Homo-oligomer: A and B are copies of this chain.
Amino acid sequence: MPFAHIEDKAAIETGSLLSPRFDERGLITAVAVDAASGRVLMVAAMNQEALARTIETGEAHYWSRSRQALWHKGATSGHTQKVVELRIDCDQDAVVLHVEAHGPGQCHVGYPSCFYRVVGIGGPAADARLTIVDAPSYDPDAVYGG
């Protein structure tokens, strides 16, 4: 258990002690933002180990819920994320990573960001449609082996 555990609300919200609030699954939310463009690249989860390794190495680590394993982002693809700045929110259950992203894209589908689709708003939710608004930036089959 590498992190302190505090219960005082004021200390959690405005103190200098890192006391991340992992949820019932042992996870916090992590948002990776491109440090240069400010664009949101991806949203993922971190468990204790992923957060600790990110802090200690300065390279983004996540918890892969699909693989149920620690995930050093870019270990397979080479698309690593060097953490320039790490921020935590008021209740310490989410972090934002400002990263220098390596490689042509950060999404496994082949785009610079995972958020390449816009959801149409203003009508019935059941009729909402998605539109791809970004251009692909690399061929994932060439990177991940198809």
Contacts and interface: CB of A to CB of B under 8 A. Distances in A.
Q: Classify chain A: how many residues form its interface, as a range.
A: 35 or more
Interface string A13-35: 11111100000000001010100
Copies of this protein in the complex:
2
A130 B56 contact: no
A130 B15 contact: yes
A143 interface: no
A58 B116 CA distance: 20
Interface in A2-54: 2-4, 13-18, 29, 31, 33, 37-40, 42-43, 51-54
Interface of A: 2-4, 13-18, 29, 31, 33, 37-40, 42-43, 51-56, 58, 83, 85-91, 94-96, 107-109, 111, 114-126, 128-132
